[in-house]
A and B are shown apart, each in its own frame.
Chain A
Amino acid sequence: MKLEFILNDKAVSLEVDPMKRLLDILREDFGLTGTKESCGEGECGACTVLLDGKPVTSCLVNAVHAENKQVVTSEGIAQKPLGKLLIACFDETNAVQCGFCFPGFLVSSYYYLKNDGEPNLEKIKTALSGNICRCTGYQKIFDSVMMACHRKQEQEK
């Protein structure tokens, strides 16, 4: 099929098997290797991207699902003001370890920060519960997102 969609705010199109995984399209056809494959069955969140503004595991999304939709990857989020804020917080807390899961965490955190943003630990835990991290024990990830929520609130004052 001819697939047209908006990728990181840019209109793109390509000829592709409609069942090709969005994950593979991003990595192979657009070289956006920030989106990672880890479990391949939706149970780790390393491949999280935003599809029409909502977080999805791109290993379970097919080309046909993305037709005429907005797709934002970690690379795209890194360019947005709230994305930059989050990256600064993850950096300051020395939260990142191996980093393989972090682009996925960045996307889930961004969705939470943008759509809710309350500095509430239980809510943050729930928002990140589709993303597995094996290195950090999550604590510093919570700290970073909490920090970003507070900063966003201050900025909005």
Chain B
Amino acid sequence: MKKVRKFDAVPKLNGSYKFLDDYTRPNLLYGGFLYAKFHHGKLKQIKFPKKFSKDEFTIVSYKDILGENIVPEPENDQPFLVEQEVMHYGQIILGIAHPNKKKLKQFIDNIEVEYEEMPAITDIEECLSDENNVFGRVLEIKHPAEIGNTSHLIHTKRIYRTPHQEQAYLETQAMLAEYDKEKKEIFVLGTMQCPFFVKSALDAIFGDTIHNSVVETSEGIGGGFGGKEDFPNIIAGITALLAYKSGRPVKTVLDREDDIQITTKRHPSRVEVESYTDPITHKIRKLNIDYRLDAGAFQTLSPVVLSRGVLHASSGYAVEDCYIKGRLFRSNTPSNGAFRGFGAPQALFAIESHIDNVAAQLGIDPYTLRKKNILKIGKEFPTSQPIIENHLEDCLEKVIEISDYHEKYREYKQWNLEHKVKKGIGLSLGLHGGGYTGNGEKILNSKIKLVIEKNADINIYVANTDMGQGAHTTLAQMVDEAIEHPHNKTRVVIPNTNKAPNSGPTVASRTIYIVGNMLRNLIKEVKKELGFDNLETYVKAHQADFPREFRSLFKPDPQAIFDDETYKGVAYKDYSWAACVVEITYDPTTYEINLEKCWNVLDIGETVNPEIARGQVEGGVVQALGWGLSEFFYKKGFGRKQGFTDYTMLTSRDIPELNIEFIHTDNPIPKGLGEIPMDYPAPALRNAFLNATGVGIDEIPLTPEKIFANLEEK
């Protein structure tokens, strides 16, 4: 647990690190997209502007696709390019390239698209309240129990709503593609999380026309947060098609405005929670959850988000009789996709808000209700997965202690009687299963490779990208520390599908948890096999054997079995746990919430690099509080907001004081980290507002307008 600095910090600061738009090529064309500016309709005609000579431009439509016009996804239902029917605003109709960036933009801006308009669903509430919009598989988790007569139990039924959220990675989506005619090979360089996803997209769009496709990431990846999980497939596919058709390298860099309009977002949710609670014992005896997500126009990876959502829907509570249902709803908006948390933040917002609503109804404090129902040894998840540790309760107790929760809870009650500006304190629990859900990791079957060079440097070959989370520093550190190798010699080679084996996508908090642990085990095996104490000495003595390559495969735990049909069994082998307290002040003059403090206690197992881990939590928490407070799209009756002027992320002056503690760091493995800090803060914020005002608003973001409207209703 030594302090290891990020290898890429200094070059990122002095500007020498290259992000995608910093690369160029001789003879380069710039790529751009013509996308639909209407929600639903049939294409009739595309009119190109007469003042431009169309021949100067390389243009690709669905007709130019040599393989299949379907983006590979868990559900293969989305085309790369529109054929006849536009299903959502922002759907790409044409790819266009030209040597002059400005001219390209003017040309695209002046293309007229004629279409026959069709009815569209663009409002979230309209989408999620009409069961006719359901599509895809309905998921159910059943944990029935005979609890007898419920008439003496406290019945609570509420609906919780969350909006879209923009990933807002600071580097917009971008790809550079080249076609080598002689080798019949496509090369794509890009900002992405999953190089092998992009490769499969290229193989889909080109079919047998090409012999090979190679995907590499740019040196720097300017943030991902899930937004660069699957959308890069589309950009890469179309950009590569343009490179193929023109015979020249093509670079497509999305404008912020376009990026916001056309790429994936966090799924809006509508979650109905119904509970029956014993007024004497404070046990929640029965829980029904109806979890709904607005998937957008296509399913793409939404079924997987839905799966994680239902598996986190009962949060950290043990309920005898529990039924959870999850469904996807279709709307005429861009497909929603991956975003840090992946369905869990929506689920936790609902249940963690609900707990406070129940506590208010019972007239007890929210801590006590949580404590009475918390998951611990002897209890089980609704999937019947048994609980093997009491770490969630440890997080809860610790956060209560460091935040001085009980004292403040009392103190603020008194304060609020006497003051106009109110104070509030809110609590939430969080949990996040590491890695792919259920049998996902088994199916992924990740592969990794290490090369020990002649000078005893170790090069790591994996497909996992460093988009800022510090994964490459941490992975190298894990390898070094496993064999006490000096830091600064081990590197993760920039992911390239020709060089690295497929170690799976950079998603699901799996990079350190799955891939890191594989690397650590591999280097330990290597050490055992070769029998060295000091690698450098060994390599010097056995120069002829090096460079030498070592590989390994993911070894699933045979005990961890999940039944995908019944949703029973071990959904996630290792859960990370968290508890959070948010303190706010509330000004009734302007209906504004001010974030004061946020206390976080997490069990993520071993913290390989505590400072990097802390940075992950700080960043995730602020994203989550922004989602809870000020970020949203699609205000009813208005178009999707454009640009950062009106997509209001928290600035340096808006954030609360952050306190973070890790517990149970003596755990032998590092568990999932990236997503859990996104999962739990929003309900704690919402509960703090309830504490401050006595008004529970079951919907985020808690904008002053929403608060005002809610108070007016009451």
Residues of A within 8 A of B (CB): 27, 32-41, 43-44, 46, 73-75, 78, 86-87, 90-103, 106, 124-126, 128-129, 131-142
Given contacts A38-B172, A91-B5, A132-B651, contact A100 B619 (CB under 8 A): no
A96 touches B644 (CB 8 A): no
Q: Does B337 have its Cβ within 8 Å of any Cβ on chain A?
A: no
Could you tell me if A140 and B652 are in contact, using CB atoms closer than 8 angstroms? no
| 23 CB-based A-B contacts, threshold 8 Å | A34-B14, A36-B21, A38-B171, A39-B256, A39-B645, A40-B257, A75-B15, A78-B13, A86-B13, A90-B13, A91-B10, A94-B5, A94-B9, A95-B9, A97-B615, A98-B468, A102-B12, A124-B652, A129-B653, A137-B615, A137-B619, A139-B655, A140-B611
Instruction: Say whether, besides A36-B171, A98-B222, A41 and B17 are in contact (CB < 8 Å).
Output: no
Nearest chain-A residue to B598 (Cβ)? A137
A66 to nearest B CB, angstroms?
A: 18
Q: Which residue of A lies closest to B469 (CB)?
A: A97
A80 to chain B, nearest CB (A): 11
- When A132-B644, A139-B658 are in contact, do A38 and B10 touch as well, CB less than 8 Å? no
| Docked CA distance A129–B649 (Å) | 12
- In the complex, what residue of chain A is closest to B617 when comparing beta carbons? A137
A20: nearest chain-B partner, CB-CB: B102
Given A36-B170, A37-B21, verify A97-B619 contact (CB < 8 Å).
yes
Query: Is A128 a contact partner of B14 (Cβ separation < 8 A)?
Result: no
Separation of A73 and B15 alpha carbons in the complex (Å): 9
Shortest distance in angstroms between B28's beta carbon and chain A's nearest beta carbon? Answer: 12
| A78 and B9 alpha carbons, distance in the complex (Å) | 13
Closest A-B pairs by Cβ, 9 of them: A34-B15, A98-B468, A99-B12, A100-B222, A137-B622, A97-B468, A78-B14, A137-B618, A33-B22
B13 touching A74 by the CB < 8 A rule?
A: yes
Asked if A43 and B13 sit within 8 Å, CB to CB, the answer is no
**Sample of 14 more A-B contacts, CB < 8 Å, known A41-B645, A73-B15, A98-B169:** A32-B15, A34-B15, A35-B15, A37-B21, A38-B644, A74-B14, A86-B13, A94-B9, A94-B609, A96-B6, A100-B222, A100-B223, A134-B167, A140-B611
Residues of A within 8 A of B224 (CB): 98
Per-position contact with A for B626-666: 1 when CB-CB < 8 Å, else 0? 00000000000000000111000101110100100000000
Contact A43 B9, beta carbon cutoff 8 Å: no
Q: Is the interface of B mostly helix, strand, loop or mixed?
A: loop
Chain B residues positioned under 8 Å from A131 (CB to CB) = 652
* Interface assignment of B518: CB less than 8 Å from any CB of chain A: no
Interface: B427 (CB within 8 A)? no
Contact, CB under 8 Å: A137 / B621: yes
Q: Is B461 an interface residue (CB 8 A)?
A: no
Is B220 an interface position by the 8 A CB rule? yes
Specify the main secondary structure of chain A where it touches its partner. loop
The winner among A38, A75, A103, A141 for most chain B CB atoms within 10 A is A38
A99 touches B622 (CB 8 A): no
Q: Interface size on B (CB < 8 Å)?
A: 55
Chain A residues contacting B615 (CB-CB under 8 Å) are 94-95, 97, 135-137, 140
* Contact bitstring B675-714, A, C-beta under 8 A = 1, else 0: 0000000000000000000000000000000000000000
Return chain A residues, CB-CB under 8 Å to B569. none
Q: A134 to chain B: which residues have CB within 8 Å?
A: 167-170, 223, 225, 619, 623, 649
Q: Which residues of A contact B222 (CB under 8 A)?
A: 36, 38, 98-100
User: Cβ of B19 < 8 Å from any Cβ of A?
Assistant: yes
State in angstroms the CA–CA spacing of A126 and B17 once bound together: 28
Whose C-beta in chain B lies nearest to the C-beta of A95? B615
A64–B458 Cα distance when bound, in Å, is: 51
Q: A132-B170, A137-B658 are in contact. Are A103 and B652 (CB under 8 A)?
A: no
**Chain B neighbourhood of A133, CB < 8 A:** 170
Indicate which residue in A87, A94, A135 contacts B14 across the interface (CB closer than 8 Å).
A87
**Is B5 touching A135 in the complex (CB atoms < 8 A)?**
no
A99 touches B8 (CB 8 A): yes
B15 contact set on A, CB distance < 8 A: 32-35, 73-75, 78, 103
Using Cβ atoms and an 8 Å threshold, which residues of chain B touch A102? 12-13
Contact pick for B653, options A36, A90, A99, A125, CB 8 Å: A125
Residues of A within 8 A of B256 (CB): 38-41
Task: Give CA–CA (A46, B169) in the complex, Å.
Answer: 12
A113 to chain B, nearest CB (A): 14
With A92-B5, A94-B611 as contacts: A100 and B643 at CB distance below 8 Å? no
B255 interface hit (Cβ, 8 Å): yes
CB-CB nearest in chain A for B620: A137
- Answer whether A41 and B170 are a contact pair too, CB < 8 Å, given A34-B15, A96-B9: no
> Which residues of B (591-631) have their CB < 8 Å from a CB of A?
609, 611-612, 614-615, 618-623
Shortest distance between the CB of A95 and any CB in chain B (Å)? 7
Contacts of A73 in B (CB 8 A): 15
B window 103-149: CB within 8 A of A:
none
Smallest CB separation, B8 vs chain A (Å): 7
State in angstroms the CA–CA spacing of A126 and B172 once bound together: 26
Flag B205-228 by CB within 8 Å of A: 1 or 0 each: 000000000000000111111000
Across the interface, which residues of B come within 8 angstroms of A34, CB to CB?
14-16
B220 in contact with A99 (CB, 8 Å): yes
Contacts of A92 in B (CB 8 A): 5
Q: Within B222-264, which residues are at the interface with A (CB < 8 Å)? A: 222-225, 255-257
The docked-state distance in angstroms from the alpha carbon of A98 to that of B3 is 19
Residues of A within 8 A of B13 (CB): 74, 78, 86-87, 90-91, 96, 99, 102-103, 106
CB-based contact B652/A142 at 8 Å: yes
| Docked pose: A43 CA to B5 CA in angstroms | 30
In this assembly, does B190 line the interface, its C-beta being within 8 Å of a C-beta of chain A?
A: no
Q: A125-B652, A137-B621, A137-B655 are in contact. Are A44 and B9 (CB under 8 A)?
A: no
* Most chain A Cβ neighbours within 10 Å, of B15, B168, B255: B15
Bound-state CA distance A57–B270 (Å) is 40
B644 contacts A94, C-beta separation under 8 Å: no
A48 to chain B, nearest CB (A): 12
Q: Are A100 and B19 neighbours in the complex by a CB distance under 8 Å?
A: yes
Residues of A within 8 A of B644 (CB): 38-39, 41, 43-44, 132
For residue B539, give the distance in angstroms from its CB to the closest CB of chain A.
Answer: 30
Q: Which residues does chain A contribute within 8 Å of B658, judged by CB atoms?
A: 137, 139
Q: Any chain A CB within 8 A of the CB of B467?
A: yes
Nearest to A42 among chain B residues (CB) is B645
Shortest CB-to-CB span from A86 to chain B, Å, is 8
A133 to chain B, nearest CB (A): 7
> Are B5 and A132 in contact, CB atoms less than 8 angstroms apart?
no
Q: What residues of A have a CB within 8 angstroms of the CB of B611 in the complex?
A: 93-94, 140
Residues on B with C-beta less than 8 A from A98 are 169-171, 220-224, 467-468
B341 within 8 A of A: no
Residues of B within 8 A of A100 (CB): 19, 169-171, 220, 222-223, 468
Expressed in whole angstroms, the minimum distance between the Cβ of A137 and any Cβ of chain B is 3
**Complexed CA–CA distance, A40 and B221 (Å):** 19
Chain A residues positioned under 8 Å from B645 (CB to CB): 39, 41, 43
CB distance from B648 to the nearest CB of A (A): 9
Q: Provided the pairs A100-B220, A129-B651 are in contact, do residues A36 and B469 lie with their beta carbons within 8 angstroms?
A: no
Residues of A within 8 Å of B257, CB to CB, are 40
In the bound complex, residues from chain A placing their C-beta under 8 Å from that of B623 are 134, 137
Separation of A131 and B467 alpha carbons in the complex (Å): 19
**Given contacts A43-B644, A134-B169, A136-B618, are A99 and B655 in contact (CB under 8 A)?**
no
Alpha-carbon distance A140/B610, docked complex (angstroms): 13
Give the complex CA separation of A134 and B612 in angstroms: 15
Which residues B1-44 have CB closer than 8 A to chain A? 3, 5-6, 8-10, 12-19, 21-22
Asked if A135 and B220 sit within 8 Å, CB to CB, the answer is: no
Contacts A41-B645, A87-B10, A94-B611; A99 near B17 (Cβ below 8 A): yes
Q: Which residues of A contact B255 (CB under 8 A)?
A: 40
